[in-house]
Structure 1
Amino acid sequence: MDELIYTKTSAGVQELQTRSGAIGQKERQLLFMIDGQRSSAMLVAMLPGQEVLANLKKLLDAGFISRSNHQQQVLEQIQFSGPTTIAPPPPRNNSFQLNEARKVILSVTHEFLGQNWEDKLAIMLSSVRSSEELKPIVEEWANALRRSGHRGAAYNGEQAIEAIFKNQ
């Protein structure tokens, strides 16, 4: 899963206002959650048990949303100067992935586990500097979700986080 960020088009905003019937309830719920900041991985984690990727494609094909690859936007913003010789790339900084993983964890926690867990995890996540440091936190978080009866949210959350770090 790429780090795609979706935004509503004017047709999407109009669809939410008018309810023309062009999309079903699940697509409508997804369209409502698209805010131009949440990645596809976050949307998958936030809507466990739903066919989020298929619904994103339906909304995209219908012209209700548009997408952009956040990493591509970042690359386009970089202005190069200096010699044009080819040099090895700098070591990859995974702070973007860590931030996206934090968002997924805290969003799902807010939805399914409540404020106490959200506070606890926010403290734990504030000191994480690598994906290796994140693994035990994700494991504890997923186990807490499963123990509280939210197996689907645990599975989807783990999948979303795995997708975030897939290209690392």
Structure 2
Amino acid sequence: MHATKQISVDRHDLAILAELQRDGHITNSALGEKVHLSTSQVGRRVQRLQDAGVIDHFAAVLDPMAIGLGVMAFVQVVLGRHGDVQGEQFERAVADMPEVLECFAVTGEADYMVRIVAQDLAAFSTFMMNHLLRVPGVTNVKSNIAIKKIKQLNVLPLDHVTQPNPSKQKIYFTPA
């Protein structure tokens, strides 16, 4: 486990984070105009937020349908035995599967929740049979296929950061 770090942010930092979540491609100059800071101030603040781990990385968000990935599935995975060895084996295996977009250890009936993309149902079935179900320790899976996207955001809410003192607040986080 990593040591907990803290970083002090003000309303300008929060405005920068909000704008970058909407448009990670925005220039420091355009960002400065939106948050009422100079380009150099924006650059320093963005770098500080990156160095502290608040900004994890920048990426382009692709539309799966536009690139031929028409099936999105949410799969609950149950392991036969609970312990470090099987869990670590499973986590290493899914980390190497490009079809797996997200994997979370969860509470409840399953041990893991996995989000998977595939070209179509046949490709999803092949992936499940030839890859996921062959991971040592996997004893049960339950799949749910998404039929309609209602909401999907990559923007985290920031309103809670300004409570109770909107002028200066500490963000506590544990870097990955």
Q: Would the TM-score normalized by the shorter structure come out above 0.5?
A: no
- Quickly name the TM-score band, shorter chain normalised: under 0.3
Q: Tell me which protein shows more helix as a share of its residues.
A: 1
Task: Find the structure with the greater CA-based Rg.
Answer: 2
Q: Tell me which protein shows more strand as a share of its residues.
A: 2
Greater relative contact order (CA < 8 Å, ≥ 6 in sequence)? 2
TM-score, L = length of structure 1: 0.25
